[in-house]
């Protein structure tokens, strides 16, 4: 499990495997290659390393936290 953290340092979603969930445990998208996709499969954000950026890289969305053991789910 990894958290999706915004620029202010607040977690707004989490990643288990390649599926992204809201903090209410609702699936909201997936990580595929270097992109975060919405449920319809549309590219939403670009991922580079642990950074999450807008598709044109003009805006930093946040970052992926370090992996945490699944026992915290």
**Residue range 2-47, pLDDT digits in tens:** 999 999 999 999 999 999 999 999 999 999 999 999 999 999 999 9
**pLDDT in the model for residue 32:** 97
**pLDDT in the model for residue 68:** 79
User: For the whole model, what pTM was predicted?
Assistant: 0.87
Residue 60 in this model has a pLDDT that exceeds 70: yes
Q: What is the residue range of 47's domain?
A: 2-65
Domain for residue 72, yes or no?
no
Q: What are the Cα distances from residue 38, in Å, to 18, 35, 68, 72?
A: 12, 10, 23, 25
Domain for residue 70, yes or no?
no
Please tell me the total count of domains within the chain. Answer: 1
Domain for residue 27, yes or no?
yes
């Amino acid at each position: 499990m990894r958290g999706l953290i915004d620029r202010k340092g607040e977690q707004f979603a989490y990643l288990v495997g390649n599926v992204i969930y809201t903090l209410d445990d609702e699936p909201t998208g997936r990580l595929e290659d270097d992109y975060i996709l919405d449920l319809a499969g549309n590219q939403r954000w670009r991922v580079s390393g642990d950074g999450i950026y807008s598709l044109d890289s003009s805006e930093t969305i946040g970052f992926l936290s370090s992996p945490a053991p699944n026992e915290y789910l």
